[in-house]
Structure 1
Amino acid sequence: MKLSIVIRSYNEQAHIGKLMTGISQQTLQPFEVILVDSGSTDKTVEIALKMGARVVHIEKSEFTFGRALNVGCAAAQGDILVFASAHVYPEGRRWLENLIVPFADPRIALSYGKQRGGITNKYSEHRLFCKWFPRVSASPQTFYFCNNANCAIRRELWIENPYDETLTGLEDLAWAKRVMTLGWQIAYRADAGIVHIHDETWTNVRSRYRREAIAMKRIDPGQRLGLLEFARLLPEHIARDSYAAARDSVLHRKFFEIVLFRFNQLFGTWQGFRDRSDLSSELANRFYYPPRKNDPKAVDPINDEPIDYKLLTGDLTR
């Protein structure tokens, strides 16, 4: 089974070297690494080339998430296409090995892995990652949630089902939904973990969730977040995050950050939907609702060999 890794990038010089280092430390080495760059003006391309990536370019004005993926997939030669954001890095040496395990089942079209945040991620986003990417693997998974920051698909399926280039986001969910309607299955691997770095302004947080809600309306017209639901969910999220922060002894430092993140997340989502309907599906529950309980004893599964990035790169950040 030949693997191609496709990375989308724009001005990621602060992160691309760490991702490439993590790839070089994998127990299973890819056939190729392809960087799809949409007009970086920093040293992203230079670093990637120096570390062995093949670079293809698209114009910044032509960028969409789906188009960048399609360009990378078209350039790839692997049987399995692995997608990674340029601002992620693997937690351990068996990331790739664990991520592709589900493809031993010929019914699996897509496999995606766990994500956790770094030190610059907002406290509430750490909570989101734990909810979106739980500690227990699922193969097959019963609904079409996935994420292309840490994902793999069969190239043969992409050839017949390219990514939607017109969506403002969530092209991964649209693709997963489509192949599931064709009878394929998707899998989640909790032991294929990456660290996903975000350091966004509040405007960027709000814009990201607005963009994704606009896309969700097209992917699943039944999904909505109305004003009353916004008003109900906001204090519930803040209360649950605050409880967790108090348990972690950081509430005094994180409370206003929690309030601002949850407001911008839900306000952006409301802006994207702009009307109201019931949120009852398992997918909507994964996206919008807080977890039912906090488990301070829960830990992520360990089935990997950690990569010591400090030793390899001198990088003291996470």
Structure 2
Amino acid sequence: MKISVIIPTLNCEKTIGELLKRLKSQTQKADEIIVVDSESNDRTVEIAEKEGAKVIKIARREFAHGSTRNLAVENARGDVVIFLTQDALPYDEYLIENITKPLEKEDIVAAYGRQIIDEKAIPTEIFARSFNYPEKGIIKSKENIKELGVKAFFFSNVCSAIKKKEFEQVGKFPLKIIMNEDMIIASKFILKGYKIAYVPEAKVIHYHNYSLIEQFKRNFDIGVFFSENEWILQYGKAEKEGIKYLKEEVKFLWQKNKLWIAYAILEDISRYSGYRLGLMHKYLPKSVKLNLSMNKNYWLN
């Protein structure tokens, strides 16, 4: 199968060169690497072109998590498209090989990889990666919804691989969405009877040491997402997963670094308050939402 790698970019000259070099050293080579750049004003485009990537340029205000990736897929010649973010560095040379291997099975149409940390990650972020991206893999299908709830649809375009034919058949990503376009495509696949795979052997170094304000803003956007896609919540409440997360986090930090428990509680308060406000965003003026949101482009468009 032919493989296209897709990377949306904006001002990432510090990471894009290393990312593309690591992709070119893979045991399984990509047939093409497509960079979709949103008017970077640094050397991102220059570096990408120098490393042999095909660059598609769009206006910054045109960027959207769904439509921008759809545009790249429309210009891709691969049977399989691999999505990466600009700050996700392949851990080793087996990333493409491992992330595409499950797609050799007819009923598995998508796969996502494991996000790991390096020595710069703070303790709460170390826990976040281990909670969401464990060492054990799983194949998720309709049968898992009762057990996993909304977590059955968990999927990440930080590092994912999707069969292009089935991607187009289910209607691609939503054109306008604040975030979680990956969760939407995963839910489409699973509810259509397909399977998706979590592949822990496919590893990228990726995390964010967000401040409390950044956590609030990110989770405001998550609340907006669920407010505008309420149908997903019929399969399980996001709050239930949040309570489980907090309990496991405190247990983890008690064993590893007790001094971070107070910070973790503040962080979770920031997350939850942002999420709840996002759920009620329809009652807020646009000017307020612009200040509360991490994805300002969504409101400007």
Could you tell me the TM-score, scaled by structure 2's length?
0.81
The answer to which of 73-82 and 193-202 deviates more is 193-202
Cross-structure match for 1:267: 273
The reply to whether residue 58 of structure 1 matches residue 58 of structure 2 is: yes
**C-alpha distance in 1, partners of 2:252/2:121?**
16
The reply to whether residue 145 of structure 1 matches residue 145 of structure 2 is: no
Asked if the contact 2:25/2:93 (under 8 Å) is kept, the reply is yes
Greater helix fraction, Structure 1 or Structure 2: 2
The reply to whether residue 176 of structure 1 matches residue 186 of structure 2 is: yes
Cα distance, 1:170 vs. partner?
0.5
The alignment partner of 1:193 has SS state of strand
Asked if the contact 1:7/1:36 (under 8 Å) is kept, the reply is yes
Q: Which amino acid aligns with 1:152?
A: A
Flag structure 1 segments of 5+ consecutive residues without an equivalent: 276-318
Cα distance, 1:256 vs. partner?
5.0
Cross-structure match for 1:167: 177
Cross-structure match for 2:200: 190
**C-alpha distance in 1, partners of 2:69/2:37?**
11
Cross-structure match for 2:147: none
Cα distance, 1:78 vs. partner?
0.4
**C-alpha distance in 2, partners of 1:178/1:240?**
30
Cross-structure match for 1:156: 165
The alignment partner of 1:187 has SS state of strand
Cross-structure match for 2:253: 245
Aligned length: 268
Q: Which amino acid aligns with 2:59?
A: E
**C-alpha distance in 1, partners of 2:228/2:187?**
12
Asked if the contact 1:114/1:192 (under 8 Å) is kept, the reply is yes
1:33-77 superposed Cα distances (whole Å, 9 cap, x missing partner): 111111211222222111121111221111110011111111111
**1:85–1:109 CA distance, 2 compared to 1 (3 A):** same
Asked if the contact 2:227/2:280 (under 8 Å) is kept, the reply is no
**C-alpha distance in 1, partners of 2:107/2:127?**
32
Q: CA RMSD in A?
A: 2.4
Cross-structure match for 2:34: 34
**C-alpha distance in 2, partners of 1:58/1:121?**
32
Asked if the contact 1:23/1:90 (under 8 Å) is kept, the reply is yes
**C-alpha distance in 2, partners of 1:65/1:241?**
29
| Aligned pairs (5 A) from 1:201-280 | 201-219=211-229, 220-222=232-234, 233=243, 237=246, 240-248=248-256, 250-252=257-259, 254-255=260-261, 257-274=263-280
Asked if the contact 1:225/1:273 (under 8 Å) is kept, the reply is no
Cα distance, 1:125 vs. partner?
2.4
**C-alpha distance in 1, partners of 2:44/2:258?**
37
| Aligned pairs (5 A) from 1:125-136 | 125-136=125-136
**C-alpha distance in 1, partners of 2:207/2:44?**
16
The alignment partner of 2:153 has SS state of coil
Asked if the contact 1:88/1:196 (under 8 Å) is kept, the reply is yes
**C-alpha distance in 1, partners of 2:57/2:125?**
31
Cross-structure match for 1:102: 102
Flag structure 2 segments of 5+ consecutive residues without an equivalent: 145-151, 282-301
